[in-house]
Amino acid sequence: MKNYTLRALASVLLVSLLTCFGASAQTPAPAAFPNPLAGPADGPLQTPAQFLGYELGARFTPHAELLRYVAHIAAHSPDRMKLERYGSTYENRPLELVYIASAANLTRLDDIRRDNLRLAGLETGAVKGATPAVVWLSYNVHGNEAVSSEAVMQVLYDLANPANTTVQSYLQNLVVIVDPCVNPDGRDRYAQWYNRVANRQTNASPLSWEHREPWPGGRYNHYYFDLNRDWAWQTQQESRQRIAVYNQWLPQVHADFHEMGPNNPYYFSPAAKPFHADLTAWQRQFQDIIGDYNRRVFDKNNWLYFTRETYDLFAPFYGDTWPSFNGAIGVTYEQGGGGVAGIAYAKTDGDTLTLSQRIEHHHATSLATLQAAAERHQDLTREFRKFYDDARTKPKGEYKSYVLAGSSDPGQVRALTQYLDRQQISYGFATKRSRQAGYSYATGQTETVQIEPQDVVISMYQPKSTLVKVLFEPQAQLEDSLTYDLTAWSLPYAFGLNGYALKNQLSVNSVASGQLSVVSPSGKNNLTTNNQQLTTNNAPYAYLARWNNLQDVRFLSRLLQQGVKLRVAEEPFETEGQKYGRGTLIIARTGNERLGARFDQLVRAQADSAGVLVQAVQSGLSTSGGDLGSRSVRPLATPNVAVLAGPGVDATAFGEVWHFFEQQVGYPVTVLGTDYFSGVPLSKFDVLILPDGRYDDIMTERTLAAVKTWVRGGGRLIALEGASRFLAGQKDLLLKAKPSDSTAASKKAPYAALRRYADAERDGINGRVQGSVFRVQLDNTHPLAFGYGNTYFALLREAPNYTFLPEGGWNVGVLKKNSYASGFAGRKTRTGLTDSFVLGTQDLGRGQIVYLADNPLFRAFWQGGKLLFGNAVFIL
C-alpha cells in the first residue's frame, strides 16, 4: 500500500470523484455564497442575486435572509432610505419598514409626515412646504403568497440604484413606504416547508408533494388569523403595530400584493362591484387611472390579466378598503400562483407558471404604481385634502351622530372607545338628558330614544367621519349582492351595545384619549376600576363581580389560576342596596382561608388588571333573592380544557379558539392533534372543544362512541359550526337538521329547475347568508346565556337549519319570525331561518354537549359573542 500524505490522498480522492461524475478541468466554479459575517454596508450595492447567491425565482428566501438584504439596501442608500423596526410578530420575528425619498425629502421626513396629517386635519398648524404624495406598498400579508417578498427585493434594488434614473425620478414627488413582509410567521412556515420538500430538479406536476401544502398552510399568522381581514379590527399583534404607524402617515396610495389560484393570470384595478357607496368619485376614477398604467406594461409584454372581476371594494376589512375609507387609493394586486404553485407549476392550459414570472409581474405593478402616483402626485394630495375637508364639514349619510348608552355595559363601552382611539376616531359625552328621534339598533326601528348624560357620542363632523359611517351605519348600501365577504359589521351589533343613530348633531363634552369614565345607574364609576380604594374597617365578607363581558371572563380566568375559590349566582339577588344578575361571581373569604392576608390584595389586583370593578360586601345576607350561601349559588371548578386541531379542522376556526384562551383570557388550553386524537385519554380533561371543520374522517364510529362515553362520565363537549353539523342526527344526540322541502317546492313550481346557466351564481345567493346580523332570542335564565338580555345579535355566515331540541335539551338561543337585522341574506334563507335552533345544550349522562351553530369567536372582532363562549367553558 502506497504511503500517501494527507494532501496527496485528498488530491487522488478529488480526481476520482470528478471522474465518477464526469467533471473536467473546465467545470465552472459554484455560485458565490453570501458572507454571513458581512455587515450591511460592506462592499458595493449588490443585486438580489449577487447578495443571496442565487437568482430570484430559484428558491424561496427565508425571512431572516430577506431582512439581511433589506438592511444591505438601506445601508447603501443612507441619503435616500431609512430602515425602521416597527414591531415584532407573535413568534418574535422583526416587522420592518423602509422609507424611501429623495435626499432633500429624507432630511425632512418627519415634517412631511406632519404636513400630511395637517392635510387631513389631524395635526395642528399650517402645511410648511411642498407635500409629496405618500405611497405605502405592503407585501406578503398572506404567508404562502410568497412571491411578493421575493419581488420586493428587486423593487428595493431599483429604488436604491442611482443608475436607474427613471425610478429615481419618481422620488422627487413621492415618499415611498415599503413593508417587505407583513406576515413573517406565515411566510417562514411556508418557505421552510417548501424548501424542505422541493425536488432538487423542479417538478411542476400538481401531483408532486411540493404542491400539496400541509395543514394549516402558511397563509395565516401564528394564531392562524387572516391578516388581510384584520385591517378594520386589529385583533392581531401584527395589525395593531402596523396600523399604529400607518395612522401616523395616512398615505395617499396603498397597494397590497397577493396571489390567487395558479390557473388564473393577473388581476389589477379597476375593482369589481360592489363598490361601497362612500368611495368618492376621485377614488373610483383613480382605480381606472392606476389600472391604465398597469395595463400598458402588461400589454407591452403580452401578459394576460383581468380587471373588474371578483375583487370588490365593499367590506372595510381589507388592505384596499380600509385605507380607502381613510382617504387613500386602495388597490389590490393578485398574481396567479399561491402556495400550491411552488417554483414551477403545470397549469391546466398546458403552460408552466414559474416563480420568476410571478416575481416579474409583481415587480412591474409595483413600479407602475409608483409611476402613476409620481405623475399624478398633485392630484393625489389635492383630493386627499378634499376628502378630509369634506369629512369634517360635509359628512356623508343621513345620520350625523351615533350614540352608545354608557350604562348598557360599561366594560364593553370602554372596550369600544379604546378601539375608537386606535382608529383616531373622536368621541365625547352627551351633556344632558334628552329625547331624540333616532334609529335604535336594538329594535331596528326609528323611534323616540332617551339620551342620558355620559352616553358616548360619536359626531360625524370630524376628519374620520367616512370611517365612522362605514363602521357604524346600521345597513351598508349594497349595489350588488355578489360580494366577496361579510355584508354586515356595525359596531353596536359587534360589541353588543345599545346604540342609536341620530340625524342631528348633539352637543358633547370632548374627552382625551384613554380618559373615558362612564357612570352606571348605581352611581358607581364602572370604568375607573381602581379597586385598591375598596377599604373598610373590617375585612369584607365577600367580593362580588357582575358578569357582563370578556373582561369578566378574563378576571375569572386569572382568579382560577391563582387557586381562588369562586361561586356563581344562578338567580338574581340584591344586597347592600345593589342588584346583581345571574352569573355574578362571588369571591367569599370562606373557602379561601389558606390565602390569608393575600386574599384581599389578590382579588383587587386581578380585578384592576382585568378592568373589572368588584364590590366588597360585609354580609352574606341578601335583601332579596338567595343569600350568598344559597343553593342557587354554586361553586365553580377550574376546568382542564382541550381543543382539537389538525387536518379536518378549519385552521382559522381553531386559531380563534386558541387566540381566545392565550391572548384574550390568558387561560391554559391543551391542543390535541386529529392524527392521534383517537388514542387520547379523555378522562384527563373536563372540557373538549371541537372547532368548525369536517369531522367525518376525524370522528370514526369508534372515536365518537368514546367521546360520548366521556361526556356521560361528566365531560363537556363544545361543538362549533361544522362540528355541530356533524353531530346532528347522530345516535343519542338531540340536534337534528330541518327536513328539506325540495319535493314540495318542485310540485308547487315544476319549472323552477329550468334555470339560465348565466344566472347560476346570482340565483345561488338566494339560499345564502353573507355574513349578516340576526336577532337571536335568548333564554337568559340558562347559564349559557348568563350576562345577556333577551336577545343577542349574531353574525351568521351560514344558515343554522336545525329544529328545536326536544325534551332533554335546552334551546337557549333561537331564531323566530322577523329576526333579520342587517346585511344581505337571500330571500329563501330568511324564510328558512324562521324557527331555527342556534345555540343550546343537551344533558348526556352526567355531562353536557354544547351546540353552537353560530361561531361567537369569529375573527375575534365580534365582541358581543365572547361571553357566550366563556359561559360554555367556565359557567355551565
User: Residue 279 in contact with residue 288, Cβ under 8 Å?
Assistant: no
Tell how strand 174-179 and strand 253-260 pair up: unpaired
What is the Cα–Cα distance from 652 to 629, expressed in whole angstroms? Answer: 43
Using CA atoms, how far apart are residues 154 and 363, in angstroms rounded to an integer?
7
- Give the pLDDT confidence score for residue 519 in this predicted structure: 31
User: How would you classify the pairing of strands 633-635 and 567-569?
Assistant: antiparallel
Q: What is the pLDDT of residue 509?
A: 84
- The DSSP symbol for 730 reads -
pLDDT along the chain (876 residues), means of 10: 40 37 37 60 93 98 98 97 98 98 97 97 90 98 98 98 97 98 98 96 96 98 98 98 98 98 98 95 98 98 97 96 98 98 98 98 98 98 98 97 90 94 96 94 95 94 98 86 80 96 90 38 38 62 97 98 98 97 98 95 96 96 97 98 98 98 98 97 98 96 98 98 98 94 56 61 59 96 97 93 96 95 83 92 98 97 97 98
Q: Which of 281, 510, 500, 276 is nearest to 399 (CA)?
A: 500
pLDDT value of position 531: 65
DSSP string, 28-96: PPPPPPP-TT--TTSSS---HHHHHSS-TTSSPPPHHHHHHHHHHHHHT-TTTEEEEEEEE-TT--EEE
Of residues 245, 242, 234, 317, the one with CA closest to residue 663: 234
In 3D space, the residue among 583, 548, 550 whose CA is nearest the CA of residue 566 turns out to be 583
Classified as helix, coil or strand, 720 is: strand
pLDDT at 2: 40
- 257: helix, coil or strand? strand
* Distance from C-alpha of 273 to C-alpha of 268, rounded to nearest angstrom: 14
CA dihedral over 843, 845, 850, 851, signed as positive or negative: negative
CA dist 389 and 387 (Å) reads 6
Q: Which 8-state DSSP code applies to residue 769? A: B
User: Residue 379 and residue 376: Cα distance in Å, rounded?
Assistant: 5
Residue 623: C-alpha distances to residues 577, 672, 769 (Å)? 8, 47, 48
In one-letter notation, the amino acid at residue 586 is I
Are the C-beta atoms of 643 and 691 separated by less than 8 Å?
A: yes
User: Pairing state of beta strands 272-275 and 312-313?
Assistant: parallel
CA angle (138 as vertex; 133, 141 as ends), nearest 5: 160
Q: What are phi and psi of 795, to 5 degrees?
A: -95, 100
Q: What 3-state class would DSSP assign to 314?
A: coil
All three cell numbers of 786:
348568563
- What pLDDT, on a 0 to 100 scale, did the predictor assign at position 752? 60
3-state helix/strand/coil string of 392-428 = HHCCCCCCCEEEECCCCCHHHHHHHHHHHHHCCCCCE
The C-alpha cell 324562521 sits at 834
The 10 Å CB-count burial string (b at 16+, else e) for 846-868 is ebbbbbbbbbbbbbbbbbbbbbb
What DSSP string runs through 815-872?
E-TT-EEES-B-HHHHHHHTTEEEEEEEEETTEEEEEESS-TTGGGT-GGGHHHHHII
CA dihedral 355, 361, 362, 366 (to 10 degrees): 150
Main-chain dihedrals φ then ψ at residue 306, nearest 5 degrees: -145, 160
